[in-house]
Structure 1
Amino acid sequence: MSPADKLAQSLSVLKALQDQQRVGIQSSELTRTHRERLLQQGFLREVMKGWFIPTRPDERQGESTSWYASFWGFCHDYLNTRFGTEWCLGAEQSISLHVGNWTIPRQLLVRSPKAGNKPVALLHGTSLLDLRLEIPAPAYIQTLDGIRVMRLEVAIIQCLPRQFSANPIEMRAALAMLPDASNLLRHLLEGGNSVVAGRLAGAFRNIGRDAIADNLLATLRSAGYSVSEQDPFADRPTLPLQSRSHSPYVNRLRMMWQQYRQPVIEHFNVTPNPVTDATSYLQHVEEVYLTDAYNSLSIEGYRVNTQLIEQVRSGQWNPQTNPADREHLDAMAARGYWQAFQAVKHSVAKVLQGENAGTVASHDLDTWYRELFAPSVTAGILSAVNLAGYRNHPVYIRHSQHVPPNHEAVRELLPALFELMENEPEPAVNVVLSHFFFVYIHPYMDGNGRCGRFLMNLMMAAGGYPWTVVPLAKRDEYMDALEQASVGQNIVPFTRFIAGLAANQWK
């Protein structure tokens, strides 16, 4: 049997496991020959002794993407194998998943009566800590995408008091998901938790849910408990939260926008220069196209040069008559970028005529996206269905611990984002947050970074700032700043980064 046939045989065994939706694979599920062959060829990666995940053979040494994409599936398989159904996440991490925050944690806290009370080292600085603790009754545990978590009301009751001030966005979003006090009261009365009841009454009143707060207090007191209401949050929200009928993702987005506004205003130290001559501004945009296209495409991994970009702009690129052009992925990307850039210029012209930038973005974004990928569809590289719009599958960002919202949430988040942009009075806030939240949501399978930078520059024009190019040379700083905002909830580095680039454009 040839080496290729042997590898094909091993891949068939791996595929059979993946067809069973397995992510974490035990060494006992593969023969030693298959395991070693798959490891050597890069189709398998060891996570810990006796446990592996499937990987791509073209993934570079030290690459974290396959691990972050596999993290939750691996934990599901590993924990089910160790503990069966006798495990669940701790209260705080249960709440995170309930409100849609699937960011990869540095340490995942797991409760199980079978646990060993010791950490398990995983890949890329992550770990799992299993604590020997009792778990709620089966009726009070639910499964979210394979992960066993406490039901929301149980997790809210059991979480530590400091969680309210340490993670106010998640806690407020979680409280807003509860339609009434009935499930909370059942647990509070069973456990005689008067202190917790007082804390939750204060928390509900903090988010404007006075009826639930009053019900908690009245019911506990009528049962003979002495309850003192205390607000566990360090501040009060600046906007009302949507009701349970709205996605927790939308509430988190709106609260994050409000949390990030002031730091952006404080650190975007660039003086705007209101546009009085739209023709001159658009001419400048056209002049910067070559530099913008090269850097934006290169950031996304396309290998383009000024000659290819100029060939596309001048019309010398023709996939209908030149088969080499039809097969050239970089040329497709360059052509798509040129077409999208023209559409964005049209949007900029609307903004310079006084139209609301958020409204223009909501109307024109689909056009930008279609133009970005139309050449690849025309050439037959992509199916026409790829132009349909928002993704229908999970998506992962290279090197990032941030996991974008699930595809069902995207259809609620984008309208909410555009509404925030339409109503935002501070242009600098729109410049920074339109870009950040667009790539945070990641609505498309591809093209999110390019569309995010287009959005940023539309807001630059609306605010009297110059079209700003993110240079390839600063890609690592750029991605690190986005990661700090996504995972660390610190928007300051990204604000300073964009402000520094914009200030240099004036020079």
Structure 2
Amino acid sequence: MAFAEALVRKRNQSGGSVLIGLLESLGRGTVARRVRDAMEGAGLKIASSEKIDLALKPKAKEPATSYFIRNKWSQFSESLKSRASQLTFTPEVIQVLVDQAQAEKIQDAYHSLSIENYRVSESMIAAIASGQWDPEEKKDVVNRFAAKGYLDAFNLVTREALRDAILWQRGETPIEEMCEILLGLVIGIKRRLFAPMADVGLIDPSDLESYRNQPVFIRGSNHIPMNHTKVAEAMQGVMLAAADEQNPYIRAALAHFFIGYVHPFGDGNGRTSRFLMNYIRLVAGLPWIIIPVERRSEYLLGLEKMSMQDFPSTFFDFLLSLERD
């Protein structure tokens, strides 16, 4: 019932309908009625819930949260197939793609950090990238060390993409093993993003190696990320689904979305989701894409529609528009 209470606090009517439908689909009718009573008792009007088509079967001993995420991924993937089927491409050589991404690294860092409201400039980032900066300088510490962490994470992602591309393109590695590769990458990104801050005492070094251990809310969004005790199970589901997804456009878009949906970390989720998206694109032979800070509102709207309305097309089409720009 804790999740229902959170929905009440956020006045999230559509989320309540989805939760009730899921509970009914899982045969938890009594709990579903209790959730409905709690929300309607708080004055929220809950639309008639529809049982959710659970298209996937749970894996042996799979936690319920992992199964829920994989099933949600499957539904999104199915709804995007008609769009994705129209997209054709010839995979480019991974080294060429990585070289192109590295050439745009400063620009990418500027936009990704600016989306998260860091106060950076391309000249600041370029100076840090070239080593022409003083880590001991006390001015603008948070922004400068955020830029340093971003550049370190960028280099990790491109290096791992070079190493892993052959595994993805052959398609012979077991899904569970590819899942572990993705999970390790995500933790590695988090570590690189914040290690420079930990080195100078701005954050606790123990935070670099783990998922969040407390609730988190997303500013400007009605989406409520799941309880922190379920994050590890949810991330397992995300990466199993990503490893099993056949279409690289869908895999990249949904991996991005689900990092934000689960929100595994206290900070850095947006940057991590964009890095994971681009890693998936690179290993598939697709170019790195930059989300411009000027289109931040459009970008966040697409994510919000997926979270609150289960409508993935707006976000998917937004990402495709960046390829055409």
Would you call these one fold, judging by a TM-score over 0.5?
Answer: yes
Count residues in correspondence.
Answer: 298
Q: 2:130 aligns with which of 309, 314, 324?
A: 314
Aligned amino acid, residue 299 of structure 1: I
Question: Which structure: larger Rg?
Answer: 1
Match of 2:114 in 1: 298
SS of alignment partner, residue 124 of structure 2: helix
Match of 2:34 in 1: none
Q: Supply the distance in 2 between the matched residues of 1:317 and 1:285 (Cα, whole angstroms).
A: 23
Match of 1:238 in 2: 55
SS of alignment partner, residue 167 of structure 2: coil
Aligned amino acid, residue 104 of structure 1: K
Indicate the percent of aligned positions where both proteins have the same amino acid.
Answer: 28
Tell me, yes or no, if structure 1 residue 329 matches structure 2 residue 103. no
TM-superposed deviation, 1:429: 1.6
Q: Verify the 8 A CA contact 2:212 2:228 in the aligned structure 1.
A: yes
SS of alignment partner, residue 324 of structure 1: coil
Tell me, yes or no, if structure 1 residue 497 matches structure 2 residue 318. yes
Match of 1:435 in 2: 256
Q: Verify the 8 A CA contact 2:115 2:296 in the aligned structure 1.
A: yes
Q: 1:176 aligns with which of 3, 26, 35?
A: 26
Alpha-carbon RMSD across the aligned residues, in angstroms, is 3.0
Aligned amino acid, residue 185 of structure 2: D
Q: 1:346 aligns with which of 119, 137, 159?
A: 159
Structure 2, gaps ≥5 residues long: 32-48, 172-177
Q: Supply the distance in 2 between the matched residues of 1:345 and 1:456 (Cα, whole angstroms).
A: 12
Q: 1:264 aligns with which of 57, 65, 80?
A: 80
More helix by percentage: 2
| Distance change in 2, residues 1:256/1:335 (3 Å) | same
| Distance change in 2, residues 1:96/1:392 (3 Å) | closer
TM-superposed deviation, 1:287: 0.6
SS of alignment partner, residue 275 of structure 2: helix
Match of 2:38 in 1: none
SS of alignment partner, residue 241 of structure 2: helix
Q: Supply the distance in 2 between the matched residues of 1:364 and 1:503 (Cα, whole angstroms).
A: 28
Q: Supply the distance in 1 between the matched residues of 2:20 and 2:282 (Cα, whole angstroms).
A: 34
TM-superposed deviation, 1:450: 0.2
TM-superposed deviation, 1:458: 1.1
Q: Verify the 8 A CA contact 2:198 2:205 in the aligned structure 1.
A: yes
SS of alignment partner, residue 277 of structure 2: helix
Q: Supply the distance in 2 between the matched residues of 1:95 and 1:248 (Cα, whole angstroms).
A: 16
More strand by percentage: 1
Q: Supply the distance in 2 between the matched residues of 1:393 and 1:473 (Cα, whole angstroms).
A: 32
Q: Supply the distance in 2 between the matched residues of 1:103 and 1:428 (Cα, whole angstroms).
A: 36
Tell me, yes or no, if structure 1 residue 104 matches structure 2 residue 39. no
SS of alignment partner, residue 323 of structure 1: coil
Return the TM-score normalized by structure 1: 0.54
Q: Supply the distance in 2 between the matched residues of 1:310 and 1:425 (Cα, whole angstroms).
A: 37
Q: 1:282 aligns with which of 92, 98, 101?
A: 98
Q: Supply the distance in 2 between the matched residues of 1:103 and 1:431 (Cα, whole angstroms).
A: 32
TM-superposed deviation, 1:359: 4.6
